Structure 1
Amino acid sequence: MFRSLLTPRWLLLHVLFIAATVATGFLAVWQWDRAHEAGGSFQNLGYALQWPLFGAFTIFLWIRVMRMELNREREEAASQAGTDTAAAEADTAAEEPAQQRPKTRRRPLVPPPAPPVDADEDPELAAYNKYLAELNEADRRAS
């Protein structure tokens, strides 16, 4: 699984992330030294404190990208295994009676409509819903 993080593309990304982290460390030290020189200011001190945060964010991003890659591979492997087992299950399911098959529930893509609102409950909302229904009907007639 971790072998995919050793491909040439990932090795280049590792080098890039390490270089960015080391660069933020050097920049923090440089700004710290500038803040303590005669011409230094609080702005240099602020930068000296910000660069380590940028380095920490770089490390966070590096770990996050690696986890995303590993999760993507796991999902691909699971879907590949799922298609293999689905084909085997289809063969055995054809032999089994329909009542023994487990029923899977599919989540609808569109949520169910809200219950209608009476004009007595909320006249403004009822008028708006009527207006939307008229627009929808006009759009269906135009298509």
Structure 2
Amino acid sequence: MVAVSAPHRRPALIILVIVAALTCLALGWWQWGRFQSGTGTGQNLGYALQWPLFAGFVVFAYVRFVRLERETDEPGDPGSERPTIVKPAVQREIPDGILPERRTPAPAARRTQDPVLADYNRYLADLHAQDLHEQMRAAGLDARETERSAG
């Protein structure tokens, strides 16, 4: 038997929703008081109207969460009084034309090599080789000296 989490079985989430909504309403009330004071501005009025919307969104998100969870209940759940609706998990596709098209890279044969870029890449490769040679010499692993001493 699969245990379905009913709304009364998640007290921590319900407490979080209540605390978040009350906090948003308290902040809206505080901003309303700031707006009515002598130093209040239109920005305080905007915040006073915005915070209750946040509180409403918290409640809306919780209700939506509960509805989505109920829609995915297991079929034939003995604790369920109503018939369960099971929607198959379908992967949603992004319709064509919404996202910009990706450019396809040109094949390597058709790419033209910039001579300045090629010179710069050779310069970087030489610097890297010199750096490796100096690091090996500092570590006592110089290949030329090792071959001479071994012979």
Decide which structure has greater helix share.
Answer: 1
Normalised TM-score (structure 2) = 0.46
Structure possessing the higher radius of gyration over alpha carbons: 2
